[in-house]
Structure 1
Amino acid sequence: MATTNLHVGSARSRVDGPAKVTGAAKYAGEFTAPDLAHGYVVSSAITKGRITAIDAEAALAVPGVIKVFTHENRPRTAWLDYNYRDQVAPPGSPFRPLHSDAVVYGGQPIALVVAESFELARHGASLLKVTYAEEAPNTDLEKNRDAAYVPPKKRSGIKPPPDPRGDAEGALGSAPIRIEQEYKQAIEHHNPMEPHASTVVWEGDGKLTIHDKIQGVNNTQGYVCSVFGLKPDDVRVITPYVGGGFGSGLRPQYQLFLAVAAALDLKRSVRVVLTRDQMFTFGYRPETIQTVSLGADADGRLQALMHDAIAGTSTFEDYQEAVVNWSGLLYHCPNVKLGYKLAKIDTYTPSDMRAPGAVTGIFALEVAMDELAAATGVDPLELRLRNYAERDEGENKEFTSKALRACYEEGAARFGWSRRSAEPRSMREGRELIGYGLATGVWEAMMMKSSASARLTPDGRVEIACSTADLGTGTYTILTQIAADALGVPMESVTTRLSDTALPEAPLAGGSWTAASSGSAVELACRSVAEQAFRLARQMDGSPLANADFAHVTFADGEIRLASDPSRKVALVEAMRAGGAEALEATETAKPSLLTNLRYAAYTHSAVFAEVRVDEDLGVVRVARIVSAVAAGKILNLKTARSQILGGVVMGIGAALEEESMLDHTLGRIMNHNLGEYHVPVNADIHDIDVLFVDEHDDKASPIGVKGLGEIGIVGAAAAVANAVYHATGKRLRELPITIDKILA
């Protein structure tokens, strides 16, 4: 079967776009049910201590308030398996609300008020009287760094730093040029547009249909069945649309537990929606303190590299990220030593946030490389080319493909890097200092086991189905494109169904693996259907394809054609009619190649170029333009792919200049827990962003040649901005976000 890519590789608008802009798309908190009750979460007023009393009398006296759930009356059925570990989301035991009278972090859910309406539930929650025995919280990572420990490797799911190679300490000590600095990354919260919500529909006889804000419906189903002792056949999870996640929806969050517990106890449907304030009471990108030491010769060639990180985690879980691992593979260096530790503080467990670990680790590494460029007098781009790694030296593997050199060259040409003068503070326009900065980006190109089904009906329509999610990334669209090309039908004839546990099982949407995983499964399923259709076409009386091989036909315009003679053809609908087929369908599973994973390392790469303008008097930074050159294998949809990188770059600008969840260490609480005081980029902050995809062929990373784009757009963006700020001002700032006070200090 020869393929004709009429749709794949082109720029196509989102097939789910009309439903979203017209309001037809339903999100987790918008589904309804007869007799639907509403729950409102009560958050703790302290960070650490115990609840000594909860007086719910006034709340229960309000007409329409149904029940108040606390640790004193929690449903007993909810505690069958405290050691549940979810599938591929950050491993561990997700926090159980209402488990005891202990308060272990600020904003912890301590009660759920259920009423006939949301307004009544919220009013009832305001009447609860809670008294505490408070203890002093411990939330300062800096004060806990000496107590940091190497996290256990068992069941972490995160690759530990590779073993040292060479003699990093010795090589560093003898290197002519040395850079040894500390870098810090503040806490960030995800803040997707859609708040976390769960609507649990009571179907009777203990059966539930759940609409949950989640990036993988199978995670929600597995969690609910494990925790509440239910059978998978009794729990169906449907989440057709997700209003952004960035990793906050990888794990089931606490509103799901509370909604299910209430529904099972009351035997009626219950909806729980978190407030924007409560969106700051669970996972986040952790604060991290890093030390990077580089040793190089006078020409800037690396002789030694050491990278150590200390990150915060909760007192009840060891959350881990691959922060330092990138430093062992991005550049050629014979002597490397990497270290990663955790420190327990009285906060909720951090969670994966877009390109977890890479955003943090690459910021430190790439700013250190810029410092090395300044110390050696070598152009930052030339420095990276001199230290270019041809293989993954951390794991001693060849790359499946690597077009990073093309990213540097094409990105620099598009940006105009040659116009950069080397001396800091040497470029200006009026009262604005101009800076050019550069950083490299890297992210794993992963593929997971995924199943999908395809169904062709006699009217020429195709239905694709798998249980992965579309977070707004374009998954509906790219799977539709793949199916349309595989079966030679218009995109308008394809319907794609996602995010339902009744559909073929697929991994959650995260890690940039969805296109490679579910896309490969869809192509396999469509190929199986195509083979069935071809067999019917060959069996027709007088078939023009009677003696043809499947390998020598193409599917286009609803027809099966001989590649060497397109006039010999059979329409799909004719073949099905002649064969008496009511439908042709297949379910197939795509798996990563074990041999490929053992022999090769697969990564997506980028080169990010930034121009900043800094008001010399006021210290205000304006990111005038960004060029992001990306090597990601085959690009399935130029329009949605560009949008993915745009979104990542915007988040990178936010991390560089604005985003910071501020902990008051006396109270142990996030103080700017709203979108008025937690600053994210708005339209006025974002100017020209140019996305460039370089040509990269990869036949090993995935069967369909894609590498994924969800994460790579943000990696390196903050470092590029930070390096540009240095070039503009001559001031090296090593702590994110780079705010006006730091520039003027």
Structure 2
Amino acid sequence: MNANHIGQPHARVDGRAKVTGSARYAADFNQPGQAYAVIVGASIGLGRVIALDAEAARRLPGVLAVLTHENAPKLAYAPHKGFIDPEHGERLHVLQDDHVRFYGQPVAVVVAQTLDQAEHAACLLLIRYAEESPVSDPLDQRAEAVVPEAGREPGPHSADRVRGDPEAALAAAAVSIDATYDAARENHFPIEPNATVAAWQGDQLTLWSKSQFVINEQAEIAAILGIPTENVHVICPFIGGAFGTSLRTWPHVTLAAVAAREVGKPVKLVLSRRQMFHQTGHRPRTVQRIALSATPDGRLTGIVHEGTGETSRHEQFTEALTAVTPFLYRCPNVRTRYRLVPLDIGTPTFMRGPGEATGVFALECAMDELAYALEMDPLELRRRNEPGLDEGMQLPFSSRSMLACYERGADAFGWSRRTLSPGSMRDGRLHIGWGMACASYPVFHGQASARVRLLADGTAEVEAAASDMGPGTYTSITQIAAETLGLPMDSVRFSLGRSDFPPTPPHGGSMTLASVGSAVRAACIAALDQRQARADRTDGAIEASATAGPDGEVRSRFSMHAFGAVFVEVAIDPDVGTIRVRRVVGAYGAGRIVNPRLAASQCTGGMVGGIGMALMERTALDPRDGRPVNAHMADYLVPVNLDIHGLEAHFVDEVDPHVNELGVKGLGEIALVGVAPAVANAVFHATGKRVRELPIRIEHLVEH
């Protein structure tokens, strides 16, 4: 029997279910006799609700309830902070008071027998506010930066880190650059909207809910409602894209549960596309300063990286904005500083490549600027500053294939044919630009559990409370289980997305394969051991469970990261400033590749997201009230098929025995990191215009 599945490009085991429509997403779990809920969001950016007239809505046929802060039940909101929740601050207590903290905050929920009735009734609510002037722009003169509470302690996660004397190095440098970079707020924009179907049976609550972390959703809703955790059941077998927006449990889940309890029947609540811009987080806008100094031959002598990100006033959302800078290059003098600007907005959240994607944009654009100041090839500058260890942590890398990524990516792209001078490459009347950038993302590995049953018919069932928002978790975990058990792929059935399955970490941070895969492998080995011990018996199934997690001692001895190099070609029309990305080539060192087909899909998907970050995605806020003015599919621009050409992903051979039992590093996040700066650097190479703001727009190129 051939059980060599790991490393093979197997097709998705859930592919048929998805293309035939039998895969069920959160809003597909309709219940008998269910009602429909619609959220009414605040139409101001800051203030109080001073009057709310719901009589016309309540008199409408089919309306079952209108819940506001005046009549909604008082909820426990017991302390609970999951792995993914902001460490400092307190989550929004929905419908518990009259305060409006940000535009679109839920101020009412209408429940009716049909969706049309609920939407009609929601329009009839008359709400009056005592309005204040919100601050929603981090560059507003009223905004004040603060040191994040999570970064006050010295150490690797400190908001302020320094080695050497970078200011002195800058002052004495033969060559230096100092620039500010502004990256726009982005929204996740997945195909599937956030949705929850809530149903009570006695004191038991079932939530069919779009969630990347069903275990946390179970615990969070139990804490909010003040009921035992075991009384909440969360089910989410499929996710139609998320990119981080469903890692947290947002207020709509609470409102669905409360509404179902109030009306005594199941309730479905689906957020509109516009509401997803208000209520389910976003990638925070950031402003960063990078200063670099170097010797005439391109050896870095100093790096200063100062970054500021926006957050809400009621929570402190932090991300790894400056985390890559201390170790990406060899440099004796480095200082990083991270600050938050509390604003009258909803709390940001993790979005694909969180922190690293934005921080690397600034750092890698600055490296490109330095290369031109030195009149040096940007790739050669990076090669000359390749470190031998993580100089920030003073630890060896568990593996680092950056040089191999440079070589593989440059060869596949044809980088040696690039001319250095901006504007020197043409295709007819079009200006051609070639740019590149590095990518890095840490190797996360959380404790996870799994359960395996070996059935008498020779098949196996595997269960874990993981999620699958598209990267192929069903398939890759099936491959790991099938190989460990020595079974064909079609003899293994992997089930996920239930809170009553063995617990796993969130489906984010590129940790699912390392964490869940290691647990499944351990459970499979335990099941085989049981079968061996019972070799003389054939009475029924064998069931085994196992928990696996990171080896703290090993992780304390190594710096663990995936690395990559991204190469981009753009073509720019000089008359109208339109930018077209013609090619993207990425080369990645990401440990063991379990499924090359899925891995390539992950990387090309990340490249598409990076193109969007570079050229299109920007959530524009009305400064009067913080309202996202382009919160719809017409004006929030994302790449479509006509925007995408020639995406290539290459993987260098990398064996890393330290990161986890499987030797995998994860690809979801790093696939986006590095794309935006590579595009920005290509735009400069094509035009000679350095754009330090994302997204890069036509206006940037046609302005004089």
Structure 1 residues 613 and 590, CA gap change in structure 2 (3 angstroms): same
Is there any run of 5+ residues in structure 1 with no aligned partner, and where?
540-578
Query: Which runs of structure 2 are paired with 1:371-390 in the superposition (5 Å)?
Result: 371-390=369-388
Aligned pairs, number: 700
Distance 2:460 2:617 in 1: 44
SS in 2 for 1:294: strand
Per-residue deviation at 1:531? Answer: 2.0
Find the aligned partners of 2:327 and 2:490 in 1 and give their Cα distance.
44
Instruction: Note if 1:87 corresponds to 2:83.
Output: yes
* Closer/same/farther in 2, CA of residues 177 and 158 from structure 1, 3 Å limit: closer
The Cα of 1:532 is off from its aligned counterpart by 2.5
1:114 aligns with 111
Q: Is the 2:135–2:143 contact (alpha carbons within 8 Å) kept by the matching residues of 1?
A: no
Query: Does the CA-based 8 Å contact 2:143-2:343 persist in structure 1?
Result: no
Partner of residue 168, structure 1:
166
Shift of 1:264: 2.3
Judge conservation of contact 2:137–2:143 (CA < 8 Å) in 1: no
Opposite residue 109 of structure 2, the aligned amino acid is: L
- The CA distance in 2 between the partners of 1:177 and 1:5, in whole Å, is 57
Matches within 5 A, 1:224-235: 224-235=221-232
Mapped contact 1:468–1:506 kept (Cα < 8 A): yes
Output the amino acid matched with 1:281. Answer: H
What's the counterpart of residue 206 of structure 1? 203
Q: Which of 325, 329, 332 is residue 331 of structure 1 equivalent to?
A: 329
CA shift for structure 1 position 4: 7.3
Report if aligned partners of 1:217, 1:238 keep a CA contact under 8 Å in 2.
yes
Moved more, 587-596 or 153-162: 153-162
Alignment match, 2:631: 673
Distance 1:454 1:227 in 2: 33
CA distance in 2, matches of 1:155, 1:58: 52
Partner residue in 2 for 1:308: 306
1:712 Cα deviation (Å)?
Answer: 0.6
2:460 paired residue number: 462
Name the CA distance, whole Å, in 1 between partners of 2:409 and 2:604. Answer: 15
SS of 2:532's partner is helix
**Partner residue in 2 for 1:421:** 419
Q: Which residue of 1 aligns with 2:681?
A: 723
Residue aligning to 1:733: 691
How far apart, in 2, do the equivalents of 1:361 and 1:135 lie?
33
Structure 1 residue 718: Cα displacement: 0.3
> Which is further off, 693-702 or 86-95?
86-95
Contact 2:182 2:288 in 1 (8 A): yes
Change (3 A) 1:326 1:161: farther
Hey, what's the Cα distance between the residues in 2 that align with 1:386 and 1:321?
29
Q: For the Cα contact (< 8 Å) 1:285–1:356, is it kept in 2? A: yes
What is the match of residue 148 of structure 2?
151
Kept in 2, the 8 Å contact 1:162–1:325? The answer is no
| Aligned partner letter, 2:126 | K
**How much has 1:158 moved relative to structure 2?**
9.7
Does residue 50 (structure 1) correspond to residue 48 (structure 2)? The answer is yes
Q: Distance in 1 between matches of 2:68 and 2:285?
A: 31
| 2:482 paired with 1:484 | yes
**In structure 1, the residue corresponding to 2:13 is in which secondary structure?**
coil
Are the counterparts in 2 of residues 96 and 257 from structure 1 also a CA contact under 8 Å?
A: no
Matches of 1:4 and 1:387 in 2, distance apart? 45
Alignment of 1:172-571 (within 5 A): 172-203=170-201, 205-282=202-279, 283-537=281-535, 539=536
Amino acid in the other structure paired with 2:96? H
Q: Name the counterpart of 2:124.
A: 127
Counterpart CA distance in 2 for 1:401 and 1:390 is 11
Answer whether contact 2:152 2:158 (CA < 8 A) is retained: no
Show CA shifts across 1:11-69 (max 9, x none). 11111111111111111111122221110001111111111111110111011100100
Q: What per-residue deviation string (whole Å, max 9, x for no partner) do you get for residues 442-498 of structure 1?
A: 001110000001111111111010001111110000010011111111111111010
Work out whether residues 610 and 724 of structure 1, in 8 Å CA contact, stay in contact via their aligned partners in 2: yes
Structure 1 SS opposite 2:197: strand
The counterpart of 1:742, out of the listed 674, 681, 700, is 700
Q: Which residue of 2 aligns with 1:664?
A: 622
Q: Is 1:602–2:560 an aligned residue pair?
A: yes
| Percent sequence identity over aligned pairs | 45
Q: What one-letter code is carried by the residue in structure 2 that aligns with 1:407?
A: C
Residue from 582, 591, 606 that aligns with 1:624 = 582
Verify the 8 A CA contact 2:161 2:337 in the aligned structure 1.
Answer: no
In structure 2, distance between residues paired with 1:145 and 1:339:
21
Q: In the aligned structure 1, how far is the partner of 2:503 from the partner of 2:100?
A: 37
Task: Give the TM-score of the pair, scaled to structure 2.
Answer: 0.97
SS in 1 for 2:569: strand
Distance in 1 (CA, whole Å) between partners of 2:136 and 2:83 is: 29
Return the alpha-carbon distance in structure 2 between the equivalents of residues 462 and 660 of structure 1.
47
CA distance in 2, matches of 1:689, 1:172: 38
1:73 pairs with 2:31? no
Counterpart Cα distance in 2 of 1:343 and 1:535? 60
- Report if the CA contact (8 A) 1:478-1:637 is conserved: yes
Aligned counterparts of 1:145 and 1:415: Cα–Cα separation in 2: 47
User: Per the alignment, do residues 4 and 177 of structure 1 end up closer, same or farther by CA in structure 2, a change over 3 Å counting?
Assistant: farther
Q: Given that residues 7 and 481 in structure 1 are in contact (C-alpha distance below 8 angstroms), is that contact kept between their aligned partners in structure 2?
A: yes
* Deviation, structure 1 residue 84: 2.8
Asked if the contact 2:87/2:150 (under 8 Å) is kept, the reply is: no
Alpha carbons 2:86, 2:316 under 8 Å: kept: no
Amino acid at match of 1:499: G
> Counterparts of 1:254 and 1:590 in 2: how far apart (Å)?
32
SS of the residue aligned with 1:600? Answer: coil
Supply the AA of the counterpart residue of 1:15: V
TM-score calculated relative to the size of structure 1: 0.92
Shift of 1:151: 0.9
Structure 2 regions of 5+ residues with no counterpart? none
Q: Tell me the equivalent position of 2:59.
A: 61
Following superposition, the deviation at residue 5 of structure 1 comes to: 5.7
Deviation at 1:378, TM superposition (A): 1.3
Cα deviation per residue 1:546-565 (whole Å; 9 max; x = unaligned)?
A: xxxxxxxxxxxxxxxxxxxx
Q: For residue 706 of structure 1, what is the aligned residue in structure 2? A: 664
Q: Contact 2:147–2:339 (CA<8 Å) still a contact in 1?
A: yes
The 8 Å contact of residues 151 and 158 in structure 2, kept in 1 or not, is answered as no
CA distance in 1, matches of 2:152, 2:641: 42
Partner of 1:100: 97
2:603 is equivalent to residue 645 of structure 1: yes
In structure 2, distance between residues paired with 1:351 and 1:224: 19
1:471 is matched by which residue type in structure 2? M
- The residue matched to 1:289 in structure 2 has which SS? strand
Q: Secondary structure at the match of 1:281?
A: helix
Distance in 2 (alpha carbons) for counterparts of 1:421 and 1:281: 46
Alpha carbons of structure 1 residues 256 and 600: separation in structure 2 relative to 1, 3 Å: same
Which position in structure 2 is the counterpart of 1:542?
none
Q: Which residue of 2 aligns with 1:36?
A: 34
Distance (whole Å) between structure 2 residues aligned to residue 136 and residue 508 of structure 1: 37
In structure 1, distance between residues paired with 2:77 and 2:142: 36
Distance, in Å, in 1 between the alignment partners of 2:661 and 2:230 is 32
- Closer, same or farther in 2 for the Cα pair 1:52/1:619, shift >3 Å? same
**Aligned position for 1:554:** none
Please tell me whether the aligned partners of residues 90 and 251 of structure 1 are also in contact (alpha carbons under 8 angstroms).
no
Instruction: Indicate the residue corresponding to 1:564 in structure 2.
Output: none
Q: Is the 8 A contact 2:35 2:268 kept in 1?
A: yes
How far 1:90 sits from its partner (Å)?
4.0
SS of corresponding position for 2:583: strand
Q: Distance in 1 between matches of 2:698 and 2:388?
A: 40
Change (3 A) 1:67 1:210: same
**How far does the alpha carbon of each residue in 1:132-153 deviate from its partner, in whole angstroms, 9 at most, with x for none?**
1111121121125872111112
Q: CA deviation at 1:620?
A: 0.4
